[in-house]
């Protein structure tokens, strides 16, 4: 998790990594919600699909 957190703090690539992770989160969350999955189950699924441990931990706290 620390590596993912520090990746997002790299000057140029950090913002790109953050945008990719947030894009994955919103894409998969929207897809699951449109498919009729309830929000708490969708969060737990998206948590594994984000690809960034720091963001996955934030999603876990949102559940």
Alpha carbon 52 to its chain centroid, in Å, reads: 6
pLDDT for residue 7 is more than 80: no
How would residue 43 be classed by pLDDT, with cut points 50, 70 and 90?
very high
Q: How confident is the model at residue 1 (pLDDT cuts 50, 70, 90)?
A: low
- Over residues 2-13, the mean pLDDT reads 76
Number of domains in the chain: 1
Could you tell me the residue range of the domain that residue 33 belongs to? 2-62
Q: Answer whether residue 2 shows pLDDT above 80.
A: no
- State pTM to two decimals: 0.76
Cβ contacts of 42-49, under 8 Å, gap ≥ 24: 49/24, 49/25
């Amino acid at each position: 998790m620390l590596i993912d957190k520090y990746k997002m703090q790299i000057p140029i690539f950090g913002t790109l990594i953050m945008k990719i992770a947030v894009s994955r989160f919103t894409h998969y969350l929207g897809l699951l919600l449109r498919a009729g999955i309830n929000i708490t189950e969708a969060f737990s699924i998206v948590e594994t699909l984000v690809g960034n441990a720091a963001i996955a931990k934030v999603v876990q706290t949102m559940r």
